[in-house]
Amino acid sequence: MAPEALYQELVQLAREEALLGSVAATLEWDTETYLPPGGVENRGRQMAILAGLLHERAVDPRRAELLEALAGSSLCADPAAVEAVNVRELRKGYERERKVPRELVEELAEETTVASAAWAEARGRRSFAAFAPHLERVVALKRAEAECLAAGGDAYDALLDDHEEGLSMARLDAIVTPLRAGLAALLDRIQGARRPPAPLGGGDYPVAAQRSLATWLAERMGFDGARGRLDAAVHPFTTGLGPGDCRITARWDPTDLSVGLFAVMHEVGHGLYEQGLDPSQWGLPAGEQVSDGLDESQARLWENVVGRSPAFWRFLWPELAARFPALAGADAGAVHRAMNRVEPSFIRVSADEVTYHLHIAVRIDLERSLLRGELRVNDLPAAWAEAYRSTLGIVPPDDTLGCLQDGHWAAGLIGYFASYTLGDVYAAELTRAAERTLGSLEPAFGRGDLAPLRSWLTEHIHRHGCRFGPIELVARATGALPSAASLLARLERVVEGTIA
Ligand code: ZN
């Protein structure tokens, strides 16, 4: 058979798998948004049967034959050609799936569905005890999966690599160690600095008005509402269900405007990446996000670089003031400074940009210990409290403000948290590179003109899919290998602004 015909057969197999995957993703989205508690057990079984079918297709011997035949063919002679990219990346996917037995894939799908529901309930009741047995099972299953993937290597490294190709604890340390040192120095500098007045909390911000603001903001950022929608979820997330269907979610706090505002900007950042992918490559690696770190870089860039910039805030303020009478008479500049104040706090997603990475560091240390069996699940609340005391100098008063705040571990996302720090590192580098081409972004932010930045990101990141690995993609966009230096420079400016 001619390589073109083999390639078309491979594309068809991959697209069928992607379609089946999008069915599973639709159910996952429903689980997080509308599923009543009574439907959880059955949903777990639905997810397990779909995961098994997906796995069966992923390790289909015909796929292996096609990949083998195509790898040395004329179609793959140019490694940058889209066919070569898809063959190379599909082969990696095949090798990955082959290492994990079907039963384990099914068990993980079922248990993480049930555990996520148990987590949401336990979080509402502020009690870790009800969630502990579920987390115990998820950690055991993830350990088994990591051992399959590691094939004799380090299990935690295998999970890091699963989210960010090529990532290991050693490589992460090389980025994070100078970052942590820089953050500690920044925190020392603000000790004793004058605290700005109260932020956006403690007010009256009706949820309906917040939703209408979110819709307006998403459109302003360039999110195509005809190819996506916005709903509420306990833990906000974004998922692509097809080439014209991107779901974003947020959560609203009627007393604190910043919770929903930044959740929306973060998730729309993910959504713009999804909508900026090449639709002709849907269901294939060339039409997918390259890594979780790059995905988070887009979300964190929109949330922080845009959302927290003084110029964008000046643009946003009249909209906020018109929608929320609680802000009548408030000073926009003072609210902006208060919103960006740097101060140890309990909740990661509401943390300022400086202390944020200390929250991440705590999670990386703890999940690594859990996976290795050095920390028992029942001891997690105490270990969490101790880690916050020693890292941020504060001790959470309950589990909801402590180890129950994130849904990641319940969902089996051990090894994911590093993506947020990498994402900020990438975002700072990308922002600098964009400014070299576009000039200072602040004047455009001040006009609410976000199209130049969005187009730059689409051109340099989104449309490439998995054509290059994450590090190479960032290096091609910025002209240098990513390091923590740009992020530290940015955070220094943030600190200057907040104590000015
Ligand atoms: Zn995110």
- CATH number of the domain encompassing residue 473: 1.10.1370.30
Q: How many residues does the chain have?
A: 500
pLDDT given for residue 338 in this prediction: 81
Alpha helices in 196-256 (DSSP H): 207-221
Going from the Cα of 272 to the center of ligand 1, the distance in angstroms, rounded, reads: 12
Shared domain for 257 and 321, answered yes or no, is: yes
**pLDDT of the chain, 500 residues: tens digit per residue:** 899 999 999 999 999 999 999 999 999 999 999 999 999 999 999 999 999 999 999 999 999 999 999 999 999 999 989 999 999 999 999 999 999 999 999 999 999 999 999 999 999 999 999 999 999 999 999 999 999 999 999 999 999 999 999 999 999 999 989 998 999 888 888 776 655 555 676 789 999 999 999 999 999 999 999 999 999 998 899 999 999 999 999 999 999 999 999 999 999 999 999 999 999 999 999 999 999 999 999 999 999 999 999 999 999 999 999 999 999 888 888 888 888 888 899 999 989 999 999 999 999 999 999 999 999 999 999 999 999 999 999 999 999 999 999 999 999 999 999 999 999 999 999 999 999 999 999 999 999 999 999 999 999 999 999 999 999 999 999 999 999 999 999 999 888 876 55
Going from the Cα of 81 to the center of ligand 1, the distance in angstroms, rounded, reads: 30
pLDDT given for residue 340 in this prediction: 84
- End of a domain among 99, 120, 153? 153
In-domain check, residue 274? yes
Contact criterion met (CB below 8 Å) for 216 and 197: no
Going from the Cα of 61 to the center of ligand 1, the distance in angstroms, rounded, reads: 35
Report the alpha-carbon distance of residue 305 to residue 337 in Å, rounded.
15
* Neighbouring-strand partners of residue 249: 231
Residues 6+ apart with CB under 8 A from 146: 155, 156, 158, 159, 371, 414, 415
Quickly tell me which residue has 């000015």 as its tokens: 500
List the domain range (segments joined by +) for residue 45: 3-153
In-domain check, residue 161? no
Going from the Cα of 424 to the center of ligand 1, the distance in angstroms, rounded, reads: 11
Best CA proximity match to 84, nearest among 73, 72, 76: 76
Contact criterion met (CB below 8 Å) for 48 and 107: yes
260 burial (CB, 10 Å; 0-12 / 13-18 / 19+) is: buried
Shared domain for 110 and 206, answered yes or no, is: no
Shared domain for 215 and 143, answered yes or no, is: no
Shared domain for 375 and 450, answered yes or no, is: yes
pLDDT given for residue 496 in this prediction: 83
Contact criterion met (CB below 8 Å) for 250 and 236: yes
Residues 6+ apart with CB under 8 A from 381: 128, 399, 402, 403
CA atoms within 13 A on the CB side of 437: 15
* Neighbouring-strand partners of residue 229: 247
CB under 5 Å of ion ligand 1: residues: 299
Going from the Cα of 359 to the center of ligand 1, the distance in angstroms, rounded, reads: 15
Contact criterion met (CB below 8 Å) for 499 and 193: yes
In-domain check, residue 159? no
Shared domain for 442 and 396, answered yes or no, is: yes
Shared domain for 422 and 450, answered yes or no, is: yes
- End of a domain among 98, 124, 153? 153
Shared domain for 102 and 176, answered yes or no, is: no
CB atoms within 10 A of CB 273: 26
Shared domain for 36 and 181, answered yes or no, is: no
Angle between helices 102-125 and 40-58 (to 10 degrees): 150
Shared domain for 146 and 191, answered yes or no, is: no
Going from the Cα of 270 to the center of ligand 1, the distance in angstroms, rounded, reads: 7
Shared domain for 99 and 240, answered yes or no, is: no
pLDDT given for residue 188 in this prediction: 83
In-domain check, residue 430? yes
The first and second tokens of residue 91, run together, are 């082969």
Going from the Cα of 248 to the center of ligand 1, the distance in angstroms, rounded, reads: 10
CA atoms within 13 A on the CB side of 365: 15
Going from the Cα of 298 to the center of ligand 1, the distance in angstroms, rounded, reads: 8
pLDDT given for residue 342 in this prediction: 86
Question: Can you say how many angstroms the Cα of residue 96 is from the centroid of all Cα atoms in its chain?
Answer: 21
In-domain check, residue 111? yes
pTM here is 0.96
CA 16 vs CA 41, 88, 233, 406: distances in Å = 27, 18, 29, 33
Going from the Cα of 184 to the center of ligand 1, the distance in angstroms, rounded, reads: 25
pLDDT given for residue 203 in this prediction: 83
431 burial (CB, 10 Å; 0-12 / 13-18 / 19+) is: buried
441-469 b/e (C-beta count within 10 Å ≥ 16 → b): beebbeebebeebbebbbebbbebbbbbb
In-domain check, residue 163? no
Going from the Cα of 9 to the center of ligand 1, the distance in angstroms, rounded, reads: 34
> Which residues are catalytically annotated?
267
The first and second tokens of residue 238, run together, are 């974004």
- End of a domain among 99, 125, 153? 153
pLDDT given for residue 199 in this prediction: 61
Going from the Cα of 82 to the center of ligand 1, the distance in angstroms, rounded, reads: 27
Total domains in the chain come to 2
Shared domain for 131 and 33, answered yes or no, is: yes
Going from the Cα of 195 to the center of ligand 1, the distance in angstroms, rounded, reads: 29
231-240 b/e (C-beta count within 10 Å ≥ 16 → b): ebbbbbbbbb
Shared domain for 225 and 128, answered yes or no, is: no
In-domain check, residue 162? no
